[in-house]
Structures are given as C-alpha cells and as structure tokens.
Structure 1
Amino acid sequence: MGKLYLVPTPIGNLEDMTFRAIKVLKEVDLILAEDTRTSGKLLQHYEILTPMQSHHMHNEHKTVNALVERMKSGEIFALVSDAGTPAISDPGFLLTRACIENDVEVECLPGATAFVPALVNSGLPNDRFVFEGFLPIKKGRQTRLMALKEETRTMVFYESPHKLLKTLTQFTEYFGENRPASVSRELTKLYEENIRGTLSGVLQHFTENPPKGELVIVVAGKK
C-alpha cells in the first residue's frame, strides 16, 4: 500500500520551506501539483528532481480514482498547491477523502498557510475563530453574510485584490463600519503589510491605496 503526503509550500518567502518537506518531495514517486509551472520554480530552487503531474480543480474529479488505485498498488505521492497548505481553499480535499475511504494512509506535514499569521498579526481575539475562506461570488453570498452578522468569533476571509473594496464595503454594511478589522497583504514577502483599524478605516486606506497581491481579511466577531 502506498501513501499520500500533503506538503505545504511557502506562501511567499522560499525560506519558509521546511527541511522535512524538501526531504519528502525528493523521496516520493510523484508530486501532484496545482500548477506545474509554479511548483517547478520551487523544485528547481531546492534541486528536487521528482517528476510532477498536474492536479487542480478542473481535473481532480476525473483523476482521483486512478491516483488512488496507483497508491493502493504501492506508489507514494506528494500533493502540493501553488502556495500554502493543500486543501485550504485549494485542491486536495477530494483526493484526501478518497484515500481515507480506500484505506490509503494520508499524512499532512505542518507548514505555511496564510490565515494563521494574518490572524495572529491582527491583534484580534484568536482563542476562538472561524475560517470562511473565499465568500461565494454571487449565489449564496448575501445569505452567508446575513448568517455571519451574529457570529461572535473572530472571522477570517481570503480575498483577491480586485474584489477587496467590494467585500470591505459589504462588511461595513453587514457588520458595522466601526467593527475592528485587519487586512494582511503579501504575507512573508518583501512588501508585507498589515492594515489594522475599523472596517471603515481599512476600507478608506485601500480606497486611497489600491491593493496588490494576496489578501487575508480578519474581522472581529459581534460583541
């Protein structure tokens, strides 16, 4: 019986790769990568010569069964996403579930993920929090925001630069403009930025300074 490793990769700074992650990627039979071009740069940097195969949201439904059968036959795979921990708002859940259902061992290595440093950097309560990832784009978005109006735990969201202003505007409408919040941008990279304040204050900042790069929004829960 083979095995599946879920291997986190850096969200920006390549030095955040762990020794163990490098070792695993060098030793497995195959690396399943969300984007082989992106992962190829990482592998080249660490002189990892293991072959890669594309595994992303557009093909994972079609390939999961075949991959599981290969692991049942003894092959050992590693799954990586473009950045961070696989299956956290990235491909990985379907394959992990299928492995577990077929008694294929799954092991997730600890490592980089964007929402943890953003949550800690925010200064907002983190003893209890809820990770929402990306909100629905259209269908179900208002329903989700209505449900979150009564959430008392700190809330963590992912967002893209071109949708940030719309999302922050909606947050002020649903949660109140004085709700404490923080937006982390380009975490671990050269131009990392953490903007803290109220939702209206954070919205004003990014209205005057158009955002670039990957973003994590942290919003205090309802008191």
Structure 2
Amino acid sequence: MMANLFSIFDPSANLGLPLNWIAIFIGLFALPWTFWVESNRFQKLFSIVTNQLHGEFKTLVGTSGAQGHTLVFISLFLFILFNNLFGLTPYVFTASSHLAMTLTLSLPLWVSFMIYGWINHATHMLAHLVPLGTPGILMPFMVLIETVSNVIRPGTLAVRLAANMIAGHLLLVLLGNQGPSISSSLLSFLLITQVLLLTLESAVAIIQSYVFAVLATLYSSEVN
C-alpha cells in the first residue's frame, strides 16, 4: 500500500521522457501579459513582495554583499513559491517534493558559498570552526562538530523542503481516498477538513519558500 501511495509522486515517462518535470516552469506562464504592459494589482502586489524581501535579505547579507546580491535569493524564493503553490493544483506535478530538485537547488548554492569563502576569506572560515570562548580542550571536538554541521547544510535544506511538501500532499491524498467509502453525512465534514488542510498547505508552501531563501541568505552572509 505504501508503494502505491508514494507512487503518486513518481515522475511519469511518456515516449521515454519524464515530461511532467516541465511543470517546474509553469510559474513563468502564470505572469499575465499585462504585467509587462501596464500597472495592475498583480504588479503592485509583486512589487510589494519583492521590495519587502529585498529589504530583509539586504539586512541579512549586510554591507559586505555586492549590489544586486539579493536578486539571487528573491528569484530563488519566487521559483520555489510558484512550484509549491502550483503543486497543490490537481494534476500538476509537484517538483519541489522531490530531492532531485531541492538538492539541485541547495547543493550548488552551498558549494559556491564554500568555494568563495575559502578562496577569499580563508582565515574567517577557519575561525568560524571554533566559536569564541571555546576551551582549548574542546577545540578539536568543536572543529569536528562545526565541520559536520556545515557539510550537512545542503542536505537539511533539501530534505526540509521536500519533506514538508510531501507530507501535506500525502495527507490530502489519504483523506481524498476516503470519500467513496464514507457515508453522505460525513462527506460534508470531510470536504470542510480538506479545504482547511488545503489552506494550511498553501501557508506551508509560502513559509517553506521563505525559509529556504532566508537560510540560503544566512549561509551566504557567513562567508563574507
């Protein structure tokens, strides 16, 4: 049963190609044509969100960040957000629930941060392995602990996003499968529960996008 349950997340292959991975680009088609032509409510909301994110990410990065540094993390947030929200739409493939996508986002970011930090700020990176005030006898253990915590960062970023997205989808599928087998008196209660759960999942989709982008910003600020 578990194999059949998780099979809803398997990429389907047509003509030997997993074409449903194209769904990760569906956010590009969500932008209306008028966004590029005239001012509208969507553009105003989009500007408010991006300006707010720019202010927060600029504070996290600090003065050492280059101009336009926050654009990378704003784009990352919007990309994950579109995939999370469209994944709640029926018959739309949820790419963000797969480690193949989330690890592809987190691992290159982490590797680039590490390469930049060790090349340009090697002394700072070494000092970061031993927190201030650590007793001398504990320094080797702290170096080991900090190294391990640093290495697993891309994995924790990827697993956090994928696990949160797949958990809500599984619960929605489990509740949806109960519809044909329950009485009509309980059907209205099931529908209300699913609507509330869908609302919760929409909030989780937004929060997880924000958390992923904020943590990536924090990891970037540590190497400057």
Query: For the superposition of Structure 1 and Structure 2, which TM-score range results when normalised by the shorter chain?
Result: under 0.3
TM-score, structure 1 normalization: 0.27
Name whichever structure is richer in helix by fraction: 2
Question: Which of structures 1 and 2 has the larger relative contact order (alpha carbons within 8 angstroms, sep 6+)?
Answer: 2
Name whichever structure is richer in strand by fraction: 1
> Based on CA coordinates, which of the two structures has the bigger radius of gyration?
2
